[in-house]
Amino acid sequence: MVDVLALVEARLRTALGDPDARAAVTFLGTDRVEVLRFQDDSQDGTVVRYATLGMSAQPMSDPTATLADPVAGPRAELVLSVRGGLADTDKVLRPLAVLAASPQVEGVVVAPGASLDVGEPLWPGAPFTSVLVAEPGGLVEDLELDAPLDPVRFLPLLPMTPNEAAWKRVHGAQALQERWLTNGTDLRDPSRKSVPLD
């Protein structure tokens, strides 16, 4: 059996460089989930990226299926990007691991357009308790695996304020993303305010 996680980590390193920190979280009855931290120093300042490693070890299965298929099914890892030095964002490691474990724990399939809520601030003082799952392929390319395995998709997470999450439930993910775009919202700002929603 191919070591999916070794290939995933290699893809993350190719796309984001070497991680400068990593932490592991294990939840009862689930596989271990690691969160890797990458620093990207550019002219715009430091961007810190957090990527999960472990969610893709098992395919996600339809919660209505009687038996989970051990081979076929979508696989994914989560990637969160925030501006460095503006908040204690390293505390996001546990909430990210919780989200990465949710397919195993709750039997959910995480896909673009979905909202994921951790029920508490993503990090101390964060105005966000949930994230919007965005389309993959921009930052880290999909990782193709040998058939019959589905490719691993690296899903960007966009933090949402409670107002944005409520608005998204009514109007949809596309409408919220258009609202962010129209207002020039800096989605990497760890302390940004909610976009105008009236």
Amino acid 5: pLDDT: 94
**What pLDDT is stored for residue 181 in this prediction?**
96
Chain segment 133-160, per-residue pLDDT in tens: 999 988 899 999 988 889 999 999 999 9
Q: What is the pLDDT of residues 69-112, one digit of tens each?
A: 667 789 999 999 999 988 999 999 999 999 999 888 888 899 99
Q: What is the mean pLDDT of residues 175-193?
A: 95
* pLDDT reading at 185 higher than 90: yes
E strands within the chain?
21-25, 33-42, 45-53, 75-83, 115-117, 130-133, 152-160
Which whole number is the average pLDDT over 169-186? 96
Give the pLDDT confidence of 29-63 residue by residue, as tens digits: 778 899 999 998 876 778 999 999 999 998 988 76
Give exposure, 85-109, as e/b (b: 16+ Cβ within 10 Å). Answer: eebebeebbbbbbbbbbbbbeeebe
Model pLDDT, residue 31: 81
* Spatial contact of 193 and 186, defined as CB atoms under 8 Å apart: no
By the 8 A CB rule, do 149 and 75 touch? Answer: yes
